Amino acid sequence: MVKRYLQVKPLDDVLALLGREFSCIPSVITVPLENASGRITVGPIFAKYSVPEIHLSAMDGIAVVSADTKGASEQHPVTLPRTVRVNTGNVVPQEYDAVIMIEDVWEESGKYTIRKSASPWQHVRPAGEDLAESEMVMPSRHRIRPHETGGLATYGITEVDVITVRIGLVPTGSELVAAGTRPAPGQVVESNTLMAKAILDEVGATCIRYPFVEDTPEKIRNAIRKACSENDLVIVSAGSSAGTKDYTADVIAELGVVLVHGIATKPGKPAIIGRVDGKPVIGLPGYPLSALTVLRELVLPLMRMYGLFVPPYRIVQAQVTTALAKEIGSDEYVACTLGKVGDRFVISPQSKGAGVQMSAIRSNAYIRLPRDSEGFNAGDLVDARLLVPEEEAENALLITGSHDPAIDYLADLLRPKGVSLISTHVGSMGGILALRKDECHAAPTHLLADDGTYNITYVQKYLGVTEVDLLCVAERQQGVVSRDGLSFTDLPGRLFVNRQKGSGTRMLLDYQLKKAGIDPGTIPGYEREVTTHIAVALAVKSREADAGLCVYSAAKALNLPFVPVASERYELAIRREHATDPRVVALMEAIRSKEFKSILEQLGGYETMETGTIRQGSP
């Protein structure tokens, strides 16, 4: 049987439908004041008594009868007949009506002398000055800020009724294993309900994760029934698509009604909205980025309808680095990396695979392309929604070009300095082109020219008169990775895995093949391209290929033999105009640090003699 979606509805229509079909009345829980911060009140809160209840001294000093002080001056000091020593906050006894600061009195054997009269009620906090019994402290649906817990305690409050939405999270799938269990082939670590709980608890929902449910209609039915009886809303993770084991929609239809199956968003299409016992049941797609999109674009707005506080995303205008075509009909959400180069934000779409969870970790912004959009061209200005605080986005250091594990360690050294290094892996040539368009702060590159020199030829060719410096990260070994210790001359006849065109490693391979007189046609798999060193090593380890060309650290990471082929100059091309940018300065300092050299030595395969040196690239 081949199933298809019953219908695919635009997101706006689905949100409108949620508002129409459900009353969205939140649950009420009572929390002790210690846990009230960030919560939203159900009803107004009133002071249980006046604060203060009687007149208090507002200063350290003496309580006086103001009439006694009349006429006191420098020339005519007055020694007061009746006084009481008071500290700040002490009661001013009923017969007194003013306080004089201790700095302004002269004491001798228990009598106080003053040189200035006191006006009635000076330095006295009258009863009810702060708030009177029965006055409203805060209204309904007020979000309690951390400092307000203090005031609430003062006004006699010890617990607060606040709103929440009780959400049952039901993970389904016979392939699921718990976090911490290494998944066997075909198994998957259950991460979507964990992610949903973190996202929804943060806005004040109260999530329960139920045990994993196997893919049988009966078990799914029981689990949904139980979750519906215990919560305001149920989210069923996975089983919402149209595969042979996607039972969620059928089960919801049995227990209640399926209102929507398929939402016109990308990712996130295979979502379900149903109603069971009058409560919303949402089927979350299985792919993490699809699930994340449905949580962000559908479930969080729904939480807003229930009255929870969901902070809006900050939006900045940014210039896109690459074109993105899309078909009309779906709202599309594109995970991106964003940073400020010069005085403008630039933004780059990431890999679009919905299974690549790292793109949710790497991205600091995203773009929403509405249904009627056909995408954008490189250079267009778009609205970018920030996924980090604006301050952090402003401090992003964009590194675009050839990837090396050492870059991740530079990110690790820079983060404690407040700089977020964001690397985009587009190969050396991609980096040079990004630098030409001034879309990154530094471009890591290892491009071998015909004369055997590195990088300068390409920088001069592509950046012309633009002033560019080359900052050396390291001299780095490239070599043959294999399971059996193959060397370069062993390659003909072996199943090879190659790097993409435009990458420095691909150019190095071609240069070395030519030099050795080996015809690429004699190497099966020469056409099979992957995009990182570690992907080459992994293809070898998983027996997809017998050999590849990569850096030593990638082979070492996966415990594979490595036979060196050549040493190359891995440098960062940097426009001279950005050399004084504090982020670039921090980068240079990190590269020249002792910690970094010792990291390179531990990783292995790097020669650090040239690390941190700068040479002129162009013009």
d(Cα 387, Cα 384) in Å, to the nearest integer?
9
Pairing of strands 562-575, 443-445: antiparallel
Longest CA span, the chain: 113
Cβ distance to its own copies smaller for residue 165 or 456: 165
Query: Could you say whether residue 517 binds its own copies (CB under 8 A)?
Result: no
When binding is defined by CB under 8 A, the residue of 55, 499, 569, 575 that contacts its own copies is 55
- Count of chain residues binding its own copies (CB under 8 A): 128
DSSP summary character for residue 296: I
Query: Could you say whether residue 254 binds its own copies (CB under 8 A)?
Result: no
When binding is defined by CB under 8 A, the residue of 114, 282, 346, 530 that contacts its own copies is 530
In the complex, the smallest distance separating the C-beta of residue 98 from its own copies, rounded to whole angstroms, is: 13
Q: Do residues 115 and 72 make contact, with C-beta atoms less than 8 angstroms apart?
A: yes
Number of Cβ within 10 Å of residue 250's Cβ equals 15
Task: Return the CA Rg of the chain.
Answer: 34
Query: Could you say whether residue 53 binds its own copies (CB under 8 A)?
Result: yes
When binding is defined by CB under 8 A, the residue of 199, 228, 347, 590 that contacts its own copies is 199
In the complex, the smallest distance separating the C-beta of residue 569 from its own copies, rounded to whole angstroms, is: 24
Q: What is the dihedral of CA 535, 541, 546, 549, to 10 degrees?
A: 40
Cβ distance to its own copies smaller for residue 127 or 614: 127
Query: Could you say whether residue 528 binds its own copies (CB under 8 A)?
Result: yes
Measure Cα distances from 579 to 417, 449, 461, 575 in Å: 17, 26, 21, 7
Query: Could you say whether residue 312 binds its own copies (CB under 8 A)?
Result: yes
Cβ distance to its own copies smaller for residue 542 or 580: 542
When binding is defined by CB under 8 A, the residue of 8, 29, 253, 388 that contacts its own copies is 388
d(Cα 284, Cα 260) in Å, to the nearest integer?
12
When binding is defined by CB under 8 A, the residue of 78, 272, 442, 538 that contacts its own copies is 538
Pairing of strands 265-266, 331-341: parallel
Query: Could you say whether residue 242 binds its own copies (CB under 8 A)?
Result: yes
Query: Could you say whether residue 383 binds its own copies (CB under 8 A)?
Result: no
Q: Is residue 67 exposed (0-12), middle (13-18) or buried (19+ Cβ within 10 Å)?
A: exposed
When binding is defined by CB under 8 A, the residue of 31, 84, 85, 490 that contacts its own copies is 85
- By CB under 8 A, the residues from 108 to 137 that bind its own copies are 120-121, 125-137
In the complex, the smallest distance separating the C-beta of residue 45 from its own copies, rounded to whole angstroms, is: 10
When binding is defined by CB under 8 A, the residue of 9, 166, 197, 261 that contacts its own copies is 197
When binding is defined by CB under 8 A, the residue of 69, 83, 149, 400 that contacts its own copies is 149
Cβ distance to its own copies smaller for residue 68 or 190: 190
Of 71-79, 377-385, 415-423, 588-596, the window that binds its own copies (rule: CB under 8 A) is 415-423
Phi and psi torsions of 233, nearest 5°: -155, 145
Query: Could you say whether residue 535 binds its own copies (CB under 8 A)?
Result: yes
In the complex, the smallest distance separating the C-beta of residue 41 from its own copies, rounded to whole angstroms, is: 9
- By CB under 8 A, the residues from 159 to 178 that bind its own copies are 175
Q: Do residues 371 and 10 make contact, with C-beta atoms less than 8 angstroms apart?
A: yes
Cβ distance to its own copies smaller for residue 81 or 186: 186
Query: Could you say whether residue 379 binds its own copies (CB under 8 A)?
Result: no
Query: Could you say whether residue 378 binds its own copies (CB under 8 A)?
Result: no
When binding is defined by CB under 8 A, the residue of 116, 415, 437, 461 that contacts its own copies is 415
In the complex, the smallest distance separating the C-beta of residue 54 from its own copies, rounded to whole angstroms, is: 5
In the complex, the smallest distance separating the C-beta of residue 529 from its own copies, rounded to whole angstroms, is: 10
When binding is defined by CB under 8 A, the residue of 90, 322, 593, 608 that contacts its own copies is 90
Alpha-carbon 38 to chain mean position: 20
Query: Could you say whether residue 216 binds its own copies (CB under 8 A)?
Result: no
Reading the block at residue 532, the tokens are 């990182």
Task: Sketch the per residue contact string, 3 through 32, with its own copies: x for CB under 8 A, - otherwise.
Answer: -x----------------------------
Q: Which amino acid is at 275?
A: R
Q: What is the 3-state secondary structure (H, E, C) of 163-202?
A: EECEEEEEEECCCEECCCCCCCCCCEECCHHHHHHHHHHH
Query: Could you say whether residue 412 binds its own copies (CB under 8 A)?
Result: yes
Exposure on the CB side of residue 73, measured as CA atoms within 13 A? 3
- By CB under 8 A, the residues from 564 to 583 that bind its own copies are none
In the complex, the smallest distance separating the C-beta of residue 146 from its own copies, rounded to whole angstroms, is: 4
C-alpha closest to that of 501 among 413, 592, 593, 427: 427
C-alpha closest to that of 336 among 352, 354, 323, 325: 352
Task: Sketch the per residue contact string, 176 through 195, with its own copies: x for CB under 8 A, - otherwise.
Answer: ---xx-xx-xx-xxxxx-xx
In the complex, the smallest distance separating the C-beta of residue 76 from its own copies, rounded to whole angstroms, is: 22
d(Cα 357, Cα 543) in Å, to the nearest integer?
24
- By CB under 8 A, the residues from 459 to 498 that bind its own copies are none
Query: Could you say whether residue 288 binds its own copies (CB under 8 A)?
Result: yes
Query: Could you say whether residue 63 binds its own copies (CB under 8 A)?
Result: no
Of 99-107, 426-434, 449-457, 608-616, the window that binds its own copies (rule: CB under 8 A) is 99-107
DSSP of 235-272, one letter per residue? Answer: EEES--SSSTT--HHHHHHHHSEEEEE-BSEES--S-E
When binding is defined by CB under 8 A, the residue of 452, 542, 580, 594 that contacts its own copies is 542
Angle at 17 between CA 257 and CA 258, to 5 degrees: 15
Pairing of strands 331-341, 279-284: unpaired
Q: Do residues 231 and 208 make contact, with C-beta atoms less than 8 angstroms apart?
A: yes
Q: What is the dihedral of CA 423, 428, 430, 435, to 10 degrees?
A: 80
